[in-house]
Amino acid sequence: MNLPPPGRALTDAVRAPYWLDRPERPDPVPPLAGPTSADLLVIGGGYGGLWAALLAKQADPGRDVLLVEAGTCGWAASGRNGGFCAASLTHGLANGVQRFPDEIDELERLGRENLDAIAATVAAYGIDCDFERTGELAVAVEPYQLDGLAEDVALARRYGHDVSLLDADEVRAEVDSPTYLGGLWDRDRVAMLDPARLAWGLRRACLDLGVRIHEHTRVTGLRRAGAALLAETTGADDVPGAVCADRVVLATNAFPPLLRRLRAWVVPVYDYALMTEPLTPAQRDAIGWRNRQGLADTGNQFHYYRITGDGRILFGGYDAVYHYGNRMAPALEQRDATFTALATHFFTTFPQLADVRFSHRWGGVIDTCTRFCAFFGTAYDGRLAYAGGYTGLGVGATRFGARVLLDLVAGADTPLTRLALVRDKPMPFPPEPARAVGIGLTRWSMARADAHEGRRNLWLRTLDRFGLGFDS
């Protein structure tokens, strides 16, 4: 079948995240102007900060909780991801078994409880975010990937997961693509949701409970102020402000950290996605997908995709782009070469959708670390707690991370703070230029492995030996 030119399908695509490009987005609340104080200051209005503020206020309604956000709540990674909400706290079971073998049973239990709690919060606060616990299909698109699926099924069943191994006919009965050779359906540990509406719903819940929120308020510095911490801020028209807080939760993830030590552990990696126009009934019938699972193929440079509540297909992944010196800029959110590649891959996956066009194209930053899952720590004699490095699974794991941060900043000795996941740090990235060279060599090696039946070269095998890597 002749595939359509990808450029034609991209012609009218808006260069903005689909999730955020909708009229129901809330109006911003005013920025901070002048000095104020709080019992708890939360820096960052993405999922991590919103969950921390909400959980803190639920635990102690009398606590004065203030959240500041440099943009608007949910405008960054929390509002532009694929909307996959996974139970895993460790970027997948295999990664967790490798890195935390002595506590993986506990981490799996905590992950299941965490996903259940997210579902309960969505229901309790009436958050209309299309939450659907439909699971995820991992699909093999090359023969060598089938053995990996069989190994993953065996591992998942060992830990009690409800998974099914599907042959080519069975997986194509679920979602019909000529590229699929087999699949693994994890039925209950992944939910689909609308990421921006989740962020907006958490924001509304925080405000309703009495959390003070100031958007368009950037924290420019932190310092001690006697027994408290002072956060200096800049708001609209460069109006200065300041917050004197007894405790601080830092949830800025990929953005340039207020603590210099975090620069060694986190790198910002740009990830990209396309959104189609709504499919017609005939187009939906051509691909099936009646069970609305999330999908991902199993290459190193993998694609993730899913059906939205209004019948569009989000198709993203493949490229994970790092820029020298941890550079971040709005212009880097658009990368035409990646969008063209994604469109080409989309039509290869679904040639029966050759007449579909894309409505939106966008990119955003993932905060990745060398172990692929969140790490935690404290500063300023325990008055500040931080988390970072979620590496693409933060939609679910940030709620767990917020619980850890609140325990840490309280100085509490709890089952969460005693976890090796919480106590240990990932291996740091090297400084530049070795950082950029290493990441570039890793990306090249991963692409080469995908093109050579998964065979990993000496560089990748060395990274494996030291528990390092590069992933989106």
Percentage of the chain modeled with pLDDT above 90: 88
pLDDT (average), residues 57-78: 97
- Of the candidates 33, 205, 81, 102, the one whose C-alpha atom is nearest the C-alpha of residue 424 is 102
- Which amino acid is located at 395 in the chain? V
Predicted local distance difference test score (pLDDT) of residue 452? 84
Which residues lie below 8 Å from residue 254, measured CB to CB, with a gap of 6+? Answer: 76, 77, 266, 268, 328, 365, 366, 367, 388
pLDDT (average), residues 194-207: 98
Q: How far is CA 168 from CA 38, 171, 227, 441, in A?
A: 57, 5, 63, 34
pLDDT at 470 over 70: no
What is the pLDDT confidence band of residue 449, given thresholds at 50, 70 and 90?
Answer: confident
pLDDT (average), residues 302-331: 96
Q: How far apart are CA 112 and CA 132, in angstroms?
A: 15
- What pTM, to 2 d.p., does this model score? 0.96
pLDDT at 471 over 90: no
Q: How far apart are CA 361 and CA 252, in angstroms?
A: 24
Higher pLDDT, 3 or 13: 13
Mean of the per-residue pLDDT values for the chain? 95
**Phi/psi at 194 (nearest 5 deg)?**
-90, 110
pLDDT at 254 over 90: no
pLDDT at 427 over 90: yes
186 within 8 A of 161, measured Cβ to Cβ:
yes
Percentage of the chain modeled with pLDDT above 70: 98
For 69-86, what is each residue's pLDDT tens digit?
A: 999 999 999 999 999 999
Q: How far is CA 11 from CA 199, 315, 358, in A?
A: 30, 17, 8
SS (H, E, C) the chain: CCCCCHHHHHCCCECCCHHHCCCCCCCCCCCCCEEEEEEEEEECCCHHHHHHHHHHHHHCCCCCEEEECCCCCCCCHHHCCCCEEECCCCCCHHHHHHHCCCCHHHHHHHHHHHHHHHHHHHHHCCCCCCCECCCEEEEECCCCHHHHHHHHHHHHHHCCCCEEEEEHHHHHHHECCCCCCEEEEECCCEEECCHHHHHHHHHHHHHHHCCEEECCCEEEEEEEECCEEEEEEECHHHCEEEEEEEEEEECCCCCCCCCHHHHHCCEEEEEEEEEECCCCHHHHHHHECCCCCEEEECCCCCEEEEECCCCCEEEEECCCECCHHHCCCHHHHCCHHHHHHHHHHHHHHCHHHCCCCEEEEEEEEEEECCCCCCEEEEECCCCEEEEECCCCCHHHHHHHHHHHHHHHHCCCCCCCCCCHHHHCCCCCCCCCCHHHHHHHHHHHHHHHHHHCCCCCCHHHHHHHHCCCCCCC
Upstream peptide bond of 4 is cis (omega within 30 degrees of 0): no
192 within 8 A of 134, measured Cβ to Cβ:
yes
pLDDT at 472 over 50: no
For 265-285, what is each residue's pLDDT tens digit?
A: 999 999 999 999 999 999 999
For 110-143, what is each residue's pLDDT tens digit?
A: 999 999 999 999 999 999 999 999 999 999 999 9
Predicted local distance difference test score (pLDDT) of residue 2? 64
Predicted local distance difference test score (pLDDT) of residue 330? 95
Please compute Rg for the chain using Cα positions.
Answer: 22
